[in-house]
Homo-oligomer: A and B are copies of this chain.
């Protein structure tokens, strides 16, 4: 007690990164309770709940790491905090139903500021038909820390894991990619301009789409419904929070398969593409490594190819191979690039 902490045997968090750290901390945890069906390692945990399965997912959003209040309106932040968790439930082919929030703020925040945050949270709950059923609001020494847990439901036969992809399955993605990342880059650029000269007005015109992608994302409930209507049950599914590259590799590892995607199939919005050109970023890089799009990445059996063509807002971007753990991208000039996970290494970012 009270002794100096030794510098010996110290491994920096940055050495492992986010995924490495989680693996390290949870590697030998084995579920033992009969009601636990699936523990760590998917978009949500799965527990029994009568005729249906109960899904549980949790996400942290921390000031200065996941959001910057300099350009993030609190109402948008409340909305986004809820939606990113709903997205995890849809990625299990379920529906979100209850939300509990842990909110820690310093006394820098006023009651009105928190009410505005809650307005956004409740708007998201209303839009997606979710009940806010509990929480813990407390103080932090500094900053704002949001922790949300969402409970969802899914009919037993409908649950989709990351682990179900099979060889020759088609790899599909909803919506378009890279927009949220370009929205973030734009806001960061205008923030620097503003800091250098507060009289300058931020130049955000014509970029509504990417700003909304970043500040007020939606979860793809509509896609889940359309797939059901089309009679398609994905063989595996994950939501795109860390970037397409990272998520493709999650599916490959969990399903013990490989994947090939085609660069010219990656769906990128025109506004995103124009900004990529401004920022001299390759659109495929924004799509692969940008993150925070909250689209769905999923695989379907080859026999569903005709059906998927009729589902609006879904693009087939590649297929599953037998090369376990290996993912490649084919460029328009037919080069093969190995896909590696960038994800977010917050600990490394911090050192910058």
Which chain A residues have a beta carbon within 8 Å of chain B's beta carbons?
Answer: 1-2, 9-16, 18, 21-22, 24-26, 29, 31-33, 35-36, 38-40, 44-45, 47-52, 54, 56-60, 62-66, 70-71, 73, 97-98, 100-107, 109-112, 114-115, 118, 122, 129-143, 145, 147, 149, 151, 153, 190-191, 194, 202, 204, 346-347, 349-351
Given A9-B112, A58-B134, A59-B136, 14 new contacts (CB under 8 A): A1-B71, A12-B111, A13-B109, A29-B132, A40-B133, A40-B134, A49-B54, A50-B51, A56-B134, A57-B100, A62-B145, A100-B149, A141-B142, A151-B151
> What are 13 of the A-B contact pairs (CB < 8 Å)?
A13-B114, A18-B138, A26-B118, A31-B131, A35-B153, A44-B134, A45-B134, A49-B49, A49-B50, A50-B50, A65-B141, A145-B145, A145-B147
CB pair B134 A33 closer than 8 Å: no
CB pair A11 B111 closer than 8 Å: yes
CB pair A2 B202 closer than 8 Å: yes
With contacts A22-B135, A132-B39 taken as known, whether A56 is within 8 angstroms of B98 at the C-beta atoms is yes
Chain B minimum-CB-distance residue to A121 = B25
Please tell me which one of the listed residues B2, B115, B131 contacts residue A25 in the complex, with CB atoms under 8 A apart. B115
Please tell me which one of the listed residues B15, B110, B139, B190 contacts residue A346 in the complex, with CB atoms under 8 A apart. B139
Give the residues in chain B near A100, CB-CB below 8 Å.
45, 56-58, 149
Measured CA separation A21–B136 after assembly (Å): 11
Please tell me which one of the listed residues B49, B66, B135, B350 contacts residue A106 in the complex, with CB atoms under 8 A apart. B350
Measured CA separation A48–B54 after assembly (Å): 10
Shortest CB-to-CB span from A49 to chain B, Å, is 4
CB pair B140 A145 closer than 8 Å: yes
CB pair B147 A60 closer than 8 Å: yes
Measured CA separation A106–B13 after assembly (Å): 9
CB pair A110 B58 closer than 8 Å: no
Chain B minimum-CB-distance residue to A21 = B137
Please tell me which one of the listed residues B98, B115, B147 contacts residue A47 in the complex, with CB atoms under 8 A apart. B98
Please tell me which one of the listed residues B66, B134, B147, B349 contacts residue A147 in the complex, with CB atoms under 8 A apart. B147
Chain B minimum-CB-distance residue to A40 = B134
Give the residues in chain B near A11, CB-CB below 8 Å.
110-112
CB pair B13 A105 closer than 8 Å: yes
CB pair A48 B47 closer than 8 Å: no
Closest 7 A/B residue pairs (Cβ): A50-B50, A147-B147, A45-B133, A139-B346, A64-B141, A11-B111, A49-B49
Shortest CB-to-CB span from A90 to chain B, Å, is 16
Give the residues in chain B near A101, CB-CB below 8 Å.
58
Shortest CB-to-CB span from A146 to chain B, Å, is 9
Measured CA separation A39–B29 after assembly (Å): 31
With contacts A2-B71, A36-B133, A102-B58 taken as known, whether A107 is within 8 angstroms of B141 at the C-beta atoms is no
Please tell me which one of the listed residues B10, B21, B149, B204 contacts residue A149 in the complex, with CB atoms under 8 A apart. B149
Measured CA separation A225–B349 after assembly (Å): 49
Measured CA separation A129–B31 after assembly (Å): 10
CB pair A62 B98 closer than 8 Å: no
CB pair B129 A33 closer than 8 Å: yes
Chain B minimum-CB-distance residue to A29 = B132
CB pair A137 B18 closer than 8 Å: yes
Please tell me which one of the listed residues B62, B131, B349 contacts residue A33 in the complex, with CB atoms under 8 A apart. B131
